[in-house]
Structure 1
């Protein structure tokens, strides 16, 4: 398409469209982390105990939200492959079904989350100080966030559908506005600035839910009132059993993968809760930092998912494979640089977040610096793994990604962490080392598995044409 300012995914250069897709995804993920990081920073200046609460509470939140997350991934895969096969009506139908199905599911999960929060927290074994100071704050935060679950997942669905279609820029713009609103609201409601009451951790939860709700409303407007995404009709929201089965078939392994990740995180949280609050604070802060570090890899991995999906839909598996290796090389180099910086300067990085003056601050910074330096060893492996898993998912091979996730968590990370921290009595050092081995093992398994080429078949039927598919500029 000469003169067209858009770049296609199935013909021509791979680097430009891959990274054209990736940088808005990285930005979206960065903005997503900014939601959490804003809460962490403002609460860190308010009370480090509140940081421990939101950090330890996240796995419980993720456990329920991960179920619906798997089905948004399935929708993105199907939309990408139907778009690559020039099946625009099918892409719109899949999108509508995904919105309805995940919407209903998220309502049920939100209600379930509110009901199980206190029983789950009550079942956690905890250090006496952690149980008295941290767990009540966790309950306050999680209850509010679970009430906003449908709004939180509404934007996740919108982003996944637009990514599968090839437009990552529109979600990025909406997300940026939403995060800006959250960053402005956070200090007002946490500290009680002006006429606002001082709500602490509850204020952080309210600000996040409100700003995400605005993003969801804007996203649904784009899908139903503009022509920037899949062509969705209101009738597509009426659930059809065959389509739901297809979404469930592809999405279930990813939902299981994310659920297993969440269960492992809950178990790790229970283990960390056995230690004093400074260990919990260090664990939470560094894990938030790692979630920031991995953003370029997640962005390129999700862009690779779309490129692989559209090229397999267009019956171009060799081009799909080249995209995976290109993304892996770039991400691996980037993560190496980040690892060197993190290993060289861990203390000022951690201290920038844990700034409140309390009895736990100095020890939390010391432990967090130790954890960040050890965790940096994993960064290159983590980056390459994200891109390779994106290749598997784009091909519809979500079972492969599930198998790797189970290996990382249940064969490597959990046993190593428990064995070193509890059995060998290495304490917090055992936690830091155990957490760092997971993605190393995962990458060493996933890369040769991908090289076998068993993923090279599309999960949808290609159309009669093989026209290039464009992505939004």
Structure 2
């Protein structure tokens, strides 16, 4: 099987076109990714406000286990990008196969652990009153079904990451679209029932998501092994090679730690939020999903920057890599500023779309959610800058540096400020929303100051296409 290289425009010619061609499918992929959560939230919002609150509790706990394996998909993207930039197609295919087998095994282990640890994890959440009685049991039902299907979730994550490193972002976008259509169709059927299918409530939302992910995984594996659209992966590449596995672990561990500690920060924040009434919990979950939606341009440019930097450093063009970073930062900040203005001016209609049960709890959720969106709009431009710079560090293989600035944003900014404002200053939900906005501002400023030092411009491969062991350029 032969493999077609992505366009050489990533490492040659102008920067705007390749950046745009990489970024817009990633933005669409992220939009479609968010559509999973939005579809669940839309239909569960018509089931009950408590079901929406249950998703607020379940998501950070699920994300904690997902993030452990998710960090290693970042290593695959880095290595594939740099080998592709260095025109070492065989090594790109081999490392892709190694990532597939490594993460597949890890996802089975984590899914099993998640299923059996669901109840103990929820027991650690300091929920009170109606939240404990009405919301937490629904979260348990959702999580148990979700963890059983975790390998299907990771199948597409790995495929998308490898294809992004290779420079092909349109194929994952098309597969993601198919998967989302399946999810949108199955959601109301599994939640409320249709014909002979009995409604399963919140468990139906989890089952719909997992079923749709299974479709995406099967299609992704076909693309990798049966076509020339991505890295040249052979069945033999799935056999573990300790040399590559070590490189994947070395590069992936900081990213796994970054993502898992980010998830731990989310759990910590959720533990604070669940001490409030159910409408606040629901508004927090709904607000987070809306934030993930409006952050799409920033996330897309950040991931495109990952590929641009990785391939250009692999091609020994560090100056071009730096120019790509600043281009993405300027465009991303400008776009997110425009989005922030809209979110600040019209939060109620945006939030109200997702809550239509007509109850007092729904009205309270809209009120809190609107305040959430208005306050967090202040950080949107900073979020774009931070995501682009983190993408640059990861593309260069400086995963420890990316981890460090994520920790600054979360553990020096967001978590302590939320606690101080919400509880010490007794500002309640308003303090939570304000504290969450502080983290990205602090992280973006710190990451930008460090970036100007220029010490990140090194690759993690050498000119003989073997991975070097001291690639951290920080």
Give the TM-score band, short-chain normalised. Answer: over 0.9
**After the TM superposition, which residues 19-418 of structure 1 pair with which residues of structure 2 at under 5 Å, given as runs?**
19-418=20-419
The alpha-carbon deviation at position 463 of structure 1 amounts to 5.2
Distance 1:123 1:281 in 2: 19
TM-score where L is the length of structure 2: 0.96
1:358 Cα shift? 2.2
Question: What displacement does 1:412 show?
Answer: 0.9
Distance 1:228 1:357 in 2: 49
Q: TM-score scaled to structure 1, two decimals?
A: 0.96
Q: CA deviation at 1:181?
A: 0.8
* Cα distance between partner residues in 2 of 1:5 and 1:232: 15
Deviation at 1:362, TM superposition (A): 1.1
Task: Tell me the CA shift for residue 47 of structure 1.
Answer: 0.8
Q: 1:444: how far off? A: 0.6
Post-superposition CA distance 1:165-217 (Å, at most 9, x none): 11111111011011001101111111213332111111111000001001000
Answer whether contact 2:379 2:440 (CA < 8 A) is retained: yes
**Cα distance in 2 between the residues matched to 1:435 and 1:232:** 42
Cα 1:5/1:262, change in 2 over 3 Å: closer
Separation of aligned partners in 1, 2:308 and 2:409: 26
SS at match of 1:437: helix
* Displacement after TM superposition at 1:7 (Å): 5.4
Q: Secondary structure at the match of 2:87?
A: coil
Check whether the contact 2:273–2:280 (CA below 8 A) recurs between aligned residues. yes
| Cα distance in 2 between the residues matched to 1:258 and 1:139 | 23
Shift of 1:46: 1.4
Q: Is the contact made by 2:6 and 2:167 (CA closer than 8 Å) also made in structure 1?
A: no
Structure 2: how far apart are the matches of 1:146 and 1:8? 41
Cα distance between partner residues in 1 of 2:56 and 2:197: 25
Any gaps of 5 or more consecutive residues in structure 1? Answer: 465-473
Distance 1:205 1:260 in 2: 24
Structure 1 counterpart of 2:468:
none
Q: Partners in 2 of 1:176 and 1:361 — Cα distance?
A: 30
Residue number in structure 2 paired with 1:461: 462
Deviation at 1:6, TM superposition (A): 4.3
Q: Contact 2:57–2:270 at 8 Å: present in 1 too?
A: yes
> Structure 1 residue 129: deviation in Å?
0.3
Asked whether the 8 Å contact 1:26–1:299 carries over to 2, the reply is yes
In structure 2, C-alpha distance between the alignment counterparts of 1:432 and 1:297, rounded to whole Å: 20
Q: Contact (CA 8 Å) 2:284, 2:372: kept in 1 or not?
A: yes
Correspondence 1:423 to 2:436: no
Q: Which residue in 1 is equivalent to 2:471?
A: none
Give the aligned length: 461
The 1:5–1:232 alpha-carbon spacing in structure 2 relative to 1, beyond 3 Å, is closer
Separation in 1, partners of 2:439, 2:57: 19
SS in 1 for 2:196: coil
1:123 is displaced (CA, Å) by 1.7
1:279 Cα deviation after fit: 0.3
Higher relative contact order (CA 8 A, sep 6+): 1
Following TM superposition, by how much is the alpha carbon of 1:5 offset from its aligned partner in structure 2, in angstroms? 10
How far 1:56 sits from its partner (Å)? 1.6
